[in-house]
Amino acid sequence: MAKSGVVEAAGRPVFKKAKVPTTHTGLVRQARKINRALAEVYPYAHPELDFTNPFELLVATVLSAQTTDLRVNQTTPALFAKYPTPAAMAAANPEELEEIIRPTGFFRAKAKSLLGLSAALRDRFDGEVPGRLEDLVTLPGVGRKTANVVLGNAFGVPGITVDTHFGRLARRFGWTESDDPVKVEQEVGELIPKSEWTMLSHRVVFHGRRICHSRRPACGACPIAELCPSYGEGEIDPVKAEKLLKYEKGGQPGQRLQPPADYPGAAAEPLNGKG
């Protein structure tokens, strides 16, 4: 029997596009239903940057701009082996630092940020990463997105991380119409309980990377299609959509070299296959 809002076409389910609620209360209910559905699809959602302490997460997040988490994860083992603390990184030779992080792109600008934030941590915060947003955003190269990543995943402070994936899906779900990350963060935060903000960020980003892609969403393989107001923007044929799935959903390795124990996919390979 087909679900409500589902019709059968050639033996395959074709969903009717969900409507964006016209009231705030309706939007809250729909957003929380989508969050619960994503929690069932991605019970293993996690930050996709490898780290063992707040400093490593901060550095990795700065490096993740304009590149993939996989490339960052392939680069940071050598980086942290040589510069394990803010004091060590602050004293780094700029050219040597640039060479190590070159694979992540924009390496000169990123090296400048890493040197600056490391010196600031050494000089202003006793070599420790602060656990307050207002302090984190004073560090070179650190904005609200990076600060929320660090707070949510290293300190347990709830935060919404608005990257390109999160912003895209928030608009597709009808949670916001804005392209401004700060406004998206504010508007989505009004729909979802604060205690869920960090995990919501992981779930939405996971979904955006694996299924709800930018150019060609895999609508026909989407497990929350019946809840989505943007269903049909991508490939609705289940067979064709299945081929668009990425990472563990597509039977491919994830982005972490050291994924959590409950991750159902394979670990990524080191850079050039070197451990």
Cβ–Cβ < 8 Å for 229, 173:
yes
Rg, the chain, Cα only: 20
Q: How far is CA 136 from the centre of its chain?
A: 19
**Which value, to the nearest 10 degrees, does the dihedral of the CA atoms of residues 7, 9, 14, 17 take?**
-70
Collapsing DSSP to helix, strand or coil, 48 comes out as coil
How far is 170 from 172, CA to CA, in rounded Å? Answer: 6
Going by their DSSP bridges, the two strands 6-9 and 12-15 should be labelled as antiparallel
d(C-alpha 225, C-alpha 231), whole Å: 6
Instruction: Show contacts of 263-266: CB within 8 Å, 24+ apart.
Output: 263/44, 263/46, 264/44
Helix, strand, coil percentages in the chain from 3-state DSSP, rounded to 5: 50, 5, 45
Taking the C-alpha atoms of residue 118 and residue 80, their distance in angstroms, rounded to an integer, is 13
Burial class (CB within 10 angstroms; exposed 0-12, middle 13-18, buried 19+) of 246 = middle
**Active site positions, annotated:** 145, 163
Please identify which residue in the block is written with the tokens 């050291």.
Answer: 258
Please answer whether residues 86 and 127 qualify as being in contact, where contact means their C-beta atoms are separated by less than 8 angstroms: yes
